Amino acid sequence: MAATESYIEGAPPGAFAPQRGTRPMSRLTTVLGATGLLGGAICQRLTAAGRPVRALVRPTSDPARRQRLERLGVDLWPGDLKEPPSLRAVCQGAQAVISTATCMLSRQAGDSIQSVDLEGQRALIEAARSAGVEHFVFISFVPLQERFPLQEAKRVVEQELMRSGIPCHTILRSGFFTEVWLGPALGFDPENARARIYGTGLGRLNWISFEDVAKFAVGALEHPRARNTILELGGEEALSQLEMVRLLEGLDGRDWVLDRIPEQVLRSRFKEATEPRQQSFAALVLNVARGCLTDPGPALQAIPIQLTRVSDPARWARRNDDARKEG
């Protein structure tokens, strides 16, 4: 059914949204951060489960990612987390909101931890409350060592969500994504048998696939034990950077080249950083160096899913095949 375009009261000039009437759409979920890695996976799982999905998408978003969402059947609404009128519009009629949005990978003007991860998320919570949203799922991350702007923003938003009066909330504190932190962008390159090792490489982490975090986010909408709680997410295996290197050396028979960055250097980078995003990224790297253990047991009891094993040989074989095809 075609939607009728109508201007939303208080929306920025040129903003519009499909006219849906005043009654909430059954099971409609609004997703913030839908053009990102995790947000896109959440949209895919929601649509596959038969839930109608609406996504707030900026006009400047990657056209290919917008097209992918459209192919999934996601209803794209123009707006920005920094524009409260667009948040009020996109929350109207939604049963649930899932927010994965962050400024950490953004290079768009005006995006900052203050404007996006703090003020934008707080405005979204207020918009969801005013719209009568029943369930708000917020993607955060596990408690880490050191004080840094991104972590402080996450904790403030968590507290505001719990006090918001929205009937149900779920806070998902994720561990480090396998695909990001054990990927070429951050120096872990299975295709070329080379790895950047942060610190000694001995600190263990419960790496988790972003696909598993997407499963948890969608599952939170269905499982009663996920309501009004904080769940920490991680994989079932705790492996260090060096253990991952040795594992992959055993799979492909090659000796990897290791580029080591001592923890002292990482600490200096963190202390010397002045820009909030730079300081936050330096803190994340420092925590990878030190290790970060997460017990996934309580989350699995609340939302039973099949976790992806980071040590699964087939997983790494598929990633290498995909890299070769892209190359």
3-state secondary structure 21-45: CCCCCCCCEEEECCCCHHHHHHHHH
CA distance 221 to 29: 9
pLDDT at position 314, please? 81
- What pLDDT score was predicted for residue 320? 57
Residues in the chain: 327
> Does the CA dihedral 292-297-301-303 come out positive or negative?
positive
Residue 160 has what pLDDT?
98
Residue-wise pLDDT tens for the chain (327 aa)?
333 222 233 333 333 333 333 334 468 999 999 999 999 999 999 999 999 999 999 998 999 999 999 999 999 999 999 999 999 999 999 999 999 999 998 778 889 999 999 999 999 999 999 999 999 999 999 999 999 999 999 999 999 999 999 999 999 999 999 999 999 999 999 999 999 999 999 999 999 999 999 999 999 999 999 999 999 999 999 999 999 999 999 998 999 999 999 999 999 999 999 999 999 999 999 999 999 999 999 999 999 999 999 999 888 876 655 544 444
CB 131 within 8 A of CB 191: no
Q: Is the dihedral of CA 172, 175, 178, 184 positive or negative?
A: positive
Question: What pLDDT, in 10s, does the model give residues 131-188?
Answer: 999 999 999 999 999 999 999 999 999 999 999 999 999 999 999 999 999 999 999 9
pLDDT at 108: 82
Residue 55 amino acid letter = A
Name the region of 157 (left: φ>0; alpha: ψ -120 to 50; beta: rest): alpha
- Evaluate whether 303 touches 219 at the Cβ level (below 8 Å): yes
Give the predicted TM-score (pTM) of the model.
0.89
Residue 10 has a pLDDT of: 33
d(CA 180, CA 105) in angstroms, rounded, equals: 12
Burial of 81 (0-12, 13-18, 19+ CB in 10 A): buried
pLDDT on residue 2: 32
Which residue's structure tokens are 């990657």? 62
Give, as one character, the DSSP assignment of residue 80: -
Question: DSSP strand E in the chain: where?
Answer: 5-7, 16-18, 29-32, 53-57, 75-78, 96-99, 135-141, 168-174, 188-189, 194-198, 204-205, 229-233, 239-240, 257-261
For β-strands 5-7 and 16-18, DSSP reports them as antiparallel
Contact (CB, 8 A) for 94 and 133? yes
Q: Is 9 exposed, middle or buried (0-12, 13-18, 19+ CB in 10 A)?
A: exposed
What's the CA gap between 100 and 94, in Å, rounded?
17
CA pair distance 126, 23, nearest whole angstrom: 19
What's the rounded Cα separation, in Å, for the pair 236 and 79? Answer: 38
Predicted confidence at residue 206, as pLDDT, reads 98
